């Protein structure tokens, strides 16, 4: 019995250490955002200030980068989600002997280091777009190359997410619709697409986030432009300022708010389903009771 308690304590201690490792650095960084010294320090705490947030707001390159990051993020979603959907559908219907090769080609970007994807994107598109002066002037831009390079692997994420749901699609639904006279395109628009909607939404969210956070591919593909992440990288390389900590505080607060909202939503859902169950039970008992009373009487 006591060994069980020891075991439990050890597990608790381990979970505590794990999360200390995970959160400790972030908490220290957050503390430096509110401390006055120009070198980000958490201890000793010399005075409370919000000045670093103001400095962050006035940082022009970072705001410009943020804007580009948002554009690239939407661009990556616009390219990756339709491509991932089409690729998942083709995966199901492709000629059997070609499926192995097709699978290998489509998942290979997931297993390729981002640095290599970035490099190959730049080398390839520089020569492709350089073929005519027009394409070079119009398309050879960091934002466009970043969208192309990121979509290379983000489309593969989308493919995997969409395919997971597509595999659970009941073919009988399709057959029923066809028997009732629907055409194949109608089946796609009215049955398959609504069925895939949750997967498409989560693919879009994942696509945007991975685009927004990407560094390895983007740092090559972005050329002379900048994104939030490449600006950050430049700042960290040059030195350290608490303004970066301030940015981290903002990001952490947003994600914490999201996480709490999600948790509250889940709890409400659970409570609602619990109540529904209770009511069902009560209703059942309500049916039984009069009979029992009647029997007793």
Partner 1 sequence: MSRFAIFLIPVVVIAFFWALARYEAKAVHDPTHKSFFERNGMTLGIVFIALVAFWTLFLVVLPYLYMAQESFHPKLPPLKRGGPEDFLTIQQYRSFFVEPSSGDWNSNHMSAFLFSILASVLVTAANFAICYPLAYYMAQAGTAQKVRLLMLGLIVPYWVNEILRAFSLRLLLASRGLINQALMGLGITETPIDFLGNDTGLYVGLSYAYLLIMIFPLYNAIESLDKNQIEAARDLGAPWWRIHKDVVMPYAKPGIASGCTLVFMLSAGSLAAPQFLGGPRTLWFTLIVYDFFFQAFNWPRGAAYAFILLAACIVFVMLMLRLFKVSLGETIR
Smallest separation, CB 254 to partner 1 (Å): 7
Largest Cα–Cα separation, the chain? 98
User: By the 8 A CB rule, do 83 and 155 touch?
Assistant: yes
Q: Please, are residues 222 and 161 in contact by the beta-carbon 8 Å criterion?
A: no
CA distance 226 to 62: 9
Does residue number 25 form part of the binding site for partner 1 (CB under 8 A)?
Answer: yes
Site for partner 1 in 44-83 (CB under 8 A): 82-83
Nearer to partner 1, 71 or 235 (CB): 235
- In the list 24, 135, 205, 268, the residue contacting partner 1 (rule: CB under 8 A) is 24
Instruction: Compose the 163-202 pattern: x for residues touching partner 1 by CB under 8 A, - for all others.
Output: -x------------------xxx--x--------------
For partner 1, the binding residue among 1, 60, 95, 291 (CB under 8 A) is 95
Minimum Å gap between C-beta 186 and partner 1 is: 9
CB of 98 to partner 1, least distance (A): 4
Q: Is 138 in the site for partner 1 (CB under 8 A)?
A: no
Please give the torsion angle defined by the CA atoms of residues 218, 220, 224 and 225, in that order, rounded to the nearest 10 degrees: 0
CB of 177 to partner 1, least distance (A): 13
**Which ranges in 167-241 belong to alpha helices (H)?**
171-179, 184-187, 193-213, 216-221, 228-238
Tell whether residue 155 is a contact of partner 1 (CB under 8 A). yes
Is 290 a binding residue for partner 1 by CB under 8 A? The answer is no
Residue 234, burial from CB neighbour count under 10 angstroms (0-12, 13-18, 19+): middle
Q: How far is the CB of 127 from partner 1 (least distance, A)?
A: 7
Contact pick of 146, 206, 232, 243 for partner 1 (by CB under 8 A): 232
Q: Which stretch binds partner 1 (CB under 8 A): 47-55, 134-142, 255-263, 284-292?
A: 255-263
Tell me how far apart the alpha carbons of residues 169 and 92 are, in angstroms, rounded to a whole number.
11
3-state SS string over 89-140? HHHHHCCHHHHHHHHHHHHHHHHCCHHHHHHHHHHHHHHHHCCCHHHHHHHC
Task: Specify the stretch interacting with partner 1 by CB under 8 A; choose among 32-40, 55-63, 198-206, 272-280.
Answer: 32-40
Tokens of 25: 């650095």
| Residue 239 touches partner 1, criterion: CB under 8 A | no
């Amino acid at each position: 019995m006591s060994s069980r308690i020891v075991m439990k304590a050890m597990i608790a201690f381990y979970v505590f250490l794990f999360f200390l490792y995970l959160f400790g650095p972030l908490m220290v960084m957050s503390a430096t955002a509110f401390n006055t010294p120009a070198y980000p320090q958490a201890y000793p705490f010399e005075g409370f200030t919000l000045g670093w947030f103001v400095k962050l707001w006035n940082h022009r390159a970072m705001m410009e980068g943020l804007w580009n990051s948002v554009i690239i993020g939407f661009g990556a979603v616009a390219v990756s989600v339709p491509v991932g959907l089409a690729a998942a559908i083709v995966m199901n219907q492709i000629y059997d002997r070609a499926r192995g090769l097709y699978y290998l080609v489509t998942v290979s970007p997931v297993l390729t280091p981002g640095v290599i994807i970035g490099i190959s994107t730049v080398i390839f598109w520089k020569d492709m777009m350089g073929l005519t002066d027009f394409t070079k002037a119009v398309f050879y831009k960091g934002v466009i190359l970043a969208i192309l390079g990121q979509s290379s692997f983000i489309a593969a994420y989308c493919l995997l997410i969409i395919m997971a749901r597509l595999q659970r699609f009941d073919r009988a639904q399709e057959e029923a619709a066809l028997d009732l006279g629907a055409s194949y395109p109608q089946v796609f628009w009215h049955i398959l697409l609504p069925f895939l909607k949750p997967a498409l939404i989560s693919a879009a969210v994942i696509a945007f986030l991975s685009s927004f956070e990407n560094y390895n591919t983007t740092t090559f593909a972005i050329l002379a432009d900048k994104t939030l992440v490449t600006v950050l990288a430049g700042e960290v390389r040059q030195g350290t300022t608490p303004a970066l900590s301030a940015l981290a505080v903002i990001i952490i607060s947003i994600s914490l708010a999201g996480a709490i909202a999600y948790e509250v939503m889940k709890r409400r859902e659970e409570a609602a389903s619990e109540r529904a169950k209770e009511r069902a039970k009560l209703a059942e008992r309500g049916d039984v009771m009069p009979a029992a009373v009647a029997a007793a009487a």
